[in-house]
Amino acid sequence: MRTAILFGLLAASATSYALKYTVPASLKATAVDCVYPANYTVTNFTVFTNAADSAKNVTSFYFADAGTGINTTCSHNLTSKPSSVGTNRWPCDNSNVSFIYQTTGVAGLTMVEVACPGSTPQFEASGLITPNLTCTNSSSASTCVAKQSILGEFDSFEPAPPS
């Protein structure tokens, strides 16, 4: 009995984390075994900008969420299709993750992750980070790279927009 209680406490502590958002009771009731997105890491964040040909511009990085087990590559280039028509939201290789990168307005990298994939209604967690970039410039191009891995927290939880 004592071993079962200890194992249960260890399992609970291994998967517990403080969420920066509130999960609706209706989702908690239907998505019982769900691990909600809490934090993530972005590595190898790079932005290449070609001065003469914007078709060659690329934003790329690697996304990892240890809590949900999602690891994926994310990139945006000329051939990328937005997640939703008319948006600047780009899908990652794992369809449960997308991103918005902008240098004006609310500048930074917004990561979006589907919470409890397959649940109804569908919700998404999102969080904004601001990469600290070091840039190398030439007359023809600029390459900016994040100085280090970036840790982010999901702090918003909203219904997913229609696809």
Here the CATH number for the domain that contains residue 99 is 2.40.350.20
Average pLDDT, the chain: 87
Domain range for 109: 2-159
Helix boundaries (H) for the chain: 2-15, 25-30
What pTM was computed for the model?
0.85
Interval 43-99: pLDDT, tens: 999 999 998 988 899 999 999 999 999 999 999 998 889 887 778 899 999 999 999
12-42 residues labelled b (16+ CB within 10 A) or e (exposed): eeeeeeebebebeeebeeebeebebbbbbeb
Number of domains in the chain: 1
What pLDDT shows up at residue 107? 87
Evaluate if residue 149 carries a pLDDT over 90: yes
Residue 108: pLDDT above 70?
A: yes
User: Region 13-17: what's the mean pLDDT?
Assistant: 49
